Structure 1
């Protein structure tokens, strides 16, 4: 019988799996997050431009996965990954866990928020990201930060 389960409720380090704040790793993660947010916005703009009005709310658009795949695949080969991320953030809805080309071409993708609201959310994220970078100062290698923290603990 195992007494200490590291995945149980007693083991809960809030910093576990997160890079040290101010490190190059943290900066790369923020940059990647910024890029993915931009791709989600671009995906929603394509759905808004190429989709058909939703019968219940004409401000929201709907497009078939096959059509979206054909359009967006010229821009990025990460269509399904960006769709999954956009669904996680409450921007789009589609049925099923995963979408596959050809098999799911007739699955409708619904926008859940108007494009203007999505753009405002993106703008707020951009402003927060810029403020975050200014506040954190220049990024340092993790090894330097760890050395600093180790030195601070000694004194």
Structure 2
């Protein structure tokens, strides 16, 4: 639908992509100057959490926590594997092969997520999802298979 929320969401995605690209470039620079990935990753996550907390307080959000074991284990799993290790690995990849090539690897993340969802959550593929999947693979093939000049 062509609503104000749709356009707002599109702009937010574009702005987030811009800032993620800036972050990749800063990460390359930091690694070239010898700043370790673990420390910059921890600092970035701490600043991000602090900024989100400020926005939550300003927005009047309440802080809630579900004390069940399943929630706590899931939260720790996502924090360790989905954030700390995954993002640390990605930043290391950025430092090794460059922000440009690593960005194309990042485009595959939703494809991997859809594959895992298909296996574990019985995700039902739509025509749009198949088309998007094909575009991601085609785009990566075109960009990454170009001969170096």
Q: TM-score when scaled to structure 1? A: 0.33
Report the structure, 1 or 2, having the larger strand content.
Answer: 1
Rg: which structure is higher? 1
Report the structure, 1 or 2, having the larger helix content.
Answer: 2
Q: TM-score when scaled to structure 2? A: 0.34
